[in-house]
Structure 1
Amino acid sequence: MADRKLYLGPLTDNRRWDRITIRPDDVIVVTPPKCGTTWMQTIVALLLSGDPEAETDLSIRMPWVDIRFREIDEVAGRLDAMTHRRCMKSHTPMDGLPLDATAQYLCVFRHPLDAHISFRNHVRNIPLTLFDAWYPEDDPDNVAFRRFLDGGPEGFDMDLMPLAHILRHFEAAKAVDERPNVTLFHYADMSRDLVGTMERVAHMLGVKHAPDVIERLVQAATFDNMKAHAERFAPSGGKGFFKSDDGFFHSGTSGQWRAHLTDGEIEAYDAVMDAHLSPEDRAWLEHGTG
Structure 2
Amino acid sequence: MVDLTGRKLYLGPLTDNRRWDMVHIRPDDVFVVTPPKSGTTWVQTIVALLFTGDPAVEAELSVKMPWIDIRVREMPDVAARLEAMTHRRCMKSHTPMDGVPLDDHAQYICVFRHPLDAHFSYRKHLRNIPMPWFGLWYPEDDVDGVTFRRFLDGGAEGFDGDAMPLDHIIRHYQAALALADRPNVSMFHYADMTRDLPGTFARLAELLGITHSAQVMDQLVETAHFDNMRAQAARFAPGGGTGFMKSDTDFFDSGTSNKWVGQLTDRELEAYDKMMDAYLTPSERAWLEYGTDGPDPS
- Under TM normalisation by the shorter chain, which class is it? over 0.9
Q: 1:237 deviation in Å? A: 0.1
Aligned equivalents of 1:130, 1:99: Cα separation in 2? 32
Identity of aligned residues (%): 67
Aligned equivalents of 1:259, 1:40: Cα separation in 2? 29
Q: Say whether residues 1:31 and 2:34 are aligned partners.
A: yes
Q: Deviations over 1:236-278 (max 9, x none)?
A: 0000000000000001100010121111111110000000000
2:157 partner amino acid = E
Q: Say whether residues 1:278 and 2:286 are aligned partners.
A: no
Aligned equivalents of 2:181, 2:248: Cα separation in 1? 37
Q: Say whether residues 1:99 and 2:102 are aligned partners.
A: yes
Q: Say whether residues 1:148 and 2:148 are aligned partners.
A: no
Q: Say whether residues 1:178 and 2:181 are aligned partners.
A: yes
Q: Which residue pairs with 1:266 in the alignment?
A: 269
Aligned length: 290
Aligned equivalents of 1:203, 1:24: Cα separation in 2? 16
Aligned runs of 1:194-213 on 2, under 5 Å?
194-213=197-216
Q: Say whether residues 1:225 and 2:228 are aligned partners.
A: yes
Q: 1:118 aligns with which of 121, 124, 132?
A: 121
Q: 1:2 deviation in Å? A: 4.2
Q: Structure 2: give runs of 5+ residues left out of the alignment.
A: 294-298
Q: Which residue pairs with 1:21 in the alignment?
A: 24
Aligned runs of 1:126-141 on 2, under 5 Å?
126-141=129-144
Aligned equivalents of 1:156, 1:184: Cα separation in 2? 27
Aligned equivalents of 2:211, 2:189: Cα separation in 1? 23
2:290 partner amino acid = H
Q: 1:141 deviation in Å? A: 1.4
Q: Deviations over 1:189-215 (max 9, x none)?
A: 000000000000000010101111000
Q: Structure 1: give runs of 5+ residues left out of the alignment.
A: none
Aligned equivalents of 2:263, 2:215: Cα separation in 1? 42
1:275 partner amino acid = A
Aligned equivalents of 1:216, 1:52: Cα separation in 2? 6
1:278 partner amino acid = T
Aligned equivalents of 2:144, 2:134: Cα separation in 1? 17
Task: Give TM-score scaled by structure 1 length.
Answer: 0.99
1:22 partner amino acid = I
Aligned equivalents of 1:131, 1:110: Cα separation in 2? 21
Aligned equivalents of 1:6, 1:61: Cα separation in 2? 26
TM superposition outliers: structure 1 runs of 4+ over 3 Å: none
Q: Which residue pairs with 1:162 in the alignment?
A: 165
Q: 1:248 aligns with which of 235, 246, 251?
A: 251
Aligned equivalents of 1:30, 1:174: Cα separation in 2? 13
Aligned equivalents of 2:175, 2:83: Cα separation in 1? 28
Q: 1:40 aligns with which of 23, 40, 43?
A: 43
What value does the CA root-mean-square deviation take over the aligned residues? Answer: 0.6
2:93 partner amino acid = S
Counterpart secondary structure, 2:142: coil
Q: 2:89 aligns with which of 86, 92, 98?
A: 86
